[in-house]
């Protein structure tokens, strides 16, 4: 009798697949000697789950929910019967192919819930009283691409997002104030893209004014109370968690000066973010906001403040040439009836970094530096530079949500 020395599951295409396509890979088994077994099966699972608890006096209430998106089984070696056994020796390898449904949500990992996909290989070998089982599980990624250029809401999502507000702080009979008047080029982005801002910030204080732009993700998890209760009707409950996923800090605004930004690239959207909404998942919902914060310094300390949170949409990339997906709709209806503009009209530009200058108080900031008149590089040049760090190939540069 021998034993299994190595059990491997390898996926094709970098272990990243899209709904409606096939999950392909190989199962390799290295055996020292010879092993008798009844069957070796491969199963593909796709599921989501949420779980959290709250204190209720001395006890605690547990809430949870789950969904199953796919489950398929494939016999690799042997048979389903346990009347006879088969033998394997040396190194053996076999391919597997599973079909992903078209309505699968993207892979997601959160604090109170997740959406995961995996392939489990089970080997049922002979034993004294009952068959013994050896299992190995390997996870893969599902990316649900939604092409924003095919959706009617692209007209709204390509409009500028205004980041405006003012703040005053009085300490020791001295009033310090600042005013923000910034605008982004649009309000929908894909991973790897930078948020380009324009506008100015006025610092009416004797100290420098640092300011930050933070991308925050708010996840809403749904679940029902587990266990039997005479008073609970097992209604669906929700809980939300917010976290910062990226932050960008600009140069501080000089005292009594204005910070003028002209087509300045700021924060870069992280590459591994899930798309807004998490389509086809009913137990987890995702929304993104941009928060603008600053810090006014005084004699005895400093005061942090926030101008508010402004909603944005984060999309996903299309990972195959010519891949298409249904438009992003709410309740199967488009939120806007305007026809989408031509795709070439949606290509933004991204000039070099450090695109800002300080203007004296009272100036309008309408005289940008000399480089402002130079033509910016194309969108493809900018996004291709980012794709060099992306391990996913054949990625198209387009707006997707």
336-363 residue pLDDT tens: 333 333 333 334 433 344 445 555 555 5
Residue 378 burial (10 A CB sphere; 0-12, 13-18, 19+): middle
Size of the chain in residues: 401
Question: Shortest CA distance to 100 belongs to which of 15, 8, 190, 221?
Answer: 15
> For position 151, what pLDDT does the model report?
63
CA distance 15 to 140: 5
Distance CA 399, CA 401 (A): 7
Whole-number pLDDT of residue 19: 94
What is the pLDDT tens value at each position of the chain, 401 positions in all?
567 778 899 999 999 999 999 999 999 988 887 778 888 899 999 999 999 998 878 888 899 999 999 999 999 988 877 666 778 888 889 999 999 999 999 999 999 999 999 999 998 876 655 567 788 999 999 999 877 676 667 788 888 889 888 887 776 666 778 888 999 989 899 889 999 999 998 988 888 888 899 999 999 999 998 875 655 557 889 999 999 999 998 888 888 888 888 998 888 999 888 899 999 999 999 999 999 988 887 665 677 888 888 999 998 876 544 344 444 333 333 333 333 333 333 344 333 444 455 555 555 444 444 434 444 444 455 444 444 444 433 332 233 33
Do residues 346 and 154 touch, judged by C-beta distance below 8 A? Answer: yes
Per-residue pLDDT, 103: 93
Are 203 and 259 spatial neighbours (Cβ–Cβ below 8 Å)? yes
Q: According to the model, what pLDDT value does residue 221 have?
A: 97
Q: Which of helix, strand or coil describes residue 14?
A: helix
Both tokens assigned to 293:
């914060």
Q: What is the CA radius of gyration of the chain?
A: 27
CA–CA distance from 17 to each of 10, 77, 101, 270, 296 (Å)? 14, 25, 11, 20, 48
| pLDDT computed for residue 316 by the predictor | 81
Separation CA 105–CA 112 (nearest Å)? 17
Query: How many C-beta atoms lie closer than 10 Å to residue 56's C-beta?
Result: 8
Distances (CA, A) of 370 to 259, 262, 343, 355, 374: 17, 12, 30, 11, 8
Integer distance in angstroms from the first to the last C-alpha of the chain?
A: 55
Q: What separation in angstroms does the CA of 63 have from each of 6, 55, 67, 141, 353?
A: 39, 11, 14, 26, 47
3-state secondary structure 130-193: CCEEEEEEEEEEECCCCEHHHCCCHHHHCCCCEEEEEEEEEECCEEEEEEEEEEECCCEECCCC
Q: Are 117 and 107 in contact (CB under 8 A)?
A: yes
Closest of 356, 345, 188, 344 to residue 263, by C-alpha = 356
pTM: 0.73
Task: Tell me the C-alpha distance between 285 and 276, whole Å.
Answer: 8
pLDDT in tens, 30-56: 888 777 888 889 999 999 999 999 887
Q: Identify the DSSP state of 225.
A: E
354 phi, psi to nearest 5 deg? 60, 45
Please state the φ and ψ torsions of residue 343, each to the nearest 5 degrees: -65, -35
Question: For residues 180-209, b (16+ Cβ closer than 10 Å) or e, as one string?
Answer: bbbebbbbbbbbbbbbbbbbbbbbbbebeb
The per-residue pLDDT for 121 is 93
- Helices (runs of H) and strands (runs of E) counted in the chain: 2, 18
- What local confidence, expressed as pLDDT, does residue 303 receive? 79
pLDDT at position 85: 74
Strands 3-11 and 22-56: antiparallel
């Amino acid at each position: 009798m021998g034993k299994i020395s190595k059990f491997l599951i390898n996926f094709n295409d970098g272990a990243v697949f899209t709904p409606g396509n096939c999950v392909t890979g190989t199962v390799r088994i290295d055996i020292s000697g010879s092993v008798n077994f009844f069957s070796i099966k491969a199963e593909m699972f796709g599921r989501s789950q949420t779980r959290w608890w709250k204190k209720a006096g001395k006890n605690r209430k547990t809430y949870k929910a789950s969904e199953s998106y796919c489950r398929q089984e494939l016999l690799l070696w042997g048979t389903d019967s346990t009347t006879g056994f088969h033998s394997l020796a040396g190194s053996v390898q076999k391919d597997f192919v599973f079909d992903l449904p078209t309505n699968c949500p993207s892979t997601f990992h959160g604090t109170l819930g997740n959406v995961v996909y995996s392939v489990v290989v089970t080997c049922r070998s002979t034993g004294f009283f009952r068959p013994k089982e050896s299992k190995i599980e390997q996870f893969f990624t599902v990316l649900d691409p939604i092409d924003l250029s095919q959706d009617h809401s692209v007209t709204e999502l390509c409009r500028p997002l205004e980041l405006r507000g003012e703040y005053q702080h009085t300490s020791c009979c001295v009033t310090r104030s600042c005013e923000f008047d910034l605008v982004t080029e649009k309000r929908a982005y894909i991973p790897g893209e930078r948020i380009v801002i324009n506008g100015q910030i006025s610092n009416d204080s004797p100290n420098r004014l640092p300011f930050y732009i933070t991308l925050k993700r708010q996840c809403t998890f749904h679940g029902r109370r587990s266990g039997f209760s005479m008073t609970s009707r097992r209604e669906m409950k929700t809980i939300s968690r917010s976290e910062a996923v990226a932050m960008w800090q600009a140069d501080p605004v000089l005292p009594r000066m204005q910070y003028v930004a002209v087509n300045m690239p700021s924060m870069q959207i992280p590459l591994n973010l899930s798309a807004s909404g998490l389509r086809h998942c009913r137990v987890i919902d995702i929304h993104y906001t941009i928060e603008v914060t600053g810090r006014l310094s005084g004699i005895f300390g400093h005061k942090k403040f926030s101008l508010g949170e402004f909603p944005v949409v984060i999309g996903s990339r299309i990972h195959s040439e010519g891949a298409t997906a249904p438009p992003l709709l709410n309740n199967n209806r488009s939120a806007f009836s305007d026809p989408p503009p031509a795709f070439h009209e949606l290509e933004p530009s991204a000039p070099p970094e450090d695109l800002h200058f300080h203007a004296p108080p009272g100036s309008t900031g309408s005289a940008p530096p000399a480089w402002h008149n130079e033509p910016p590089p194309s969108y493809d040049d900018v996004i291709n530079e980012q794709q060099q760090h992306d391990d996913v190939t054949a990625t198209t540069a387009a707006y997707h949500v």
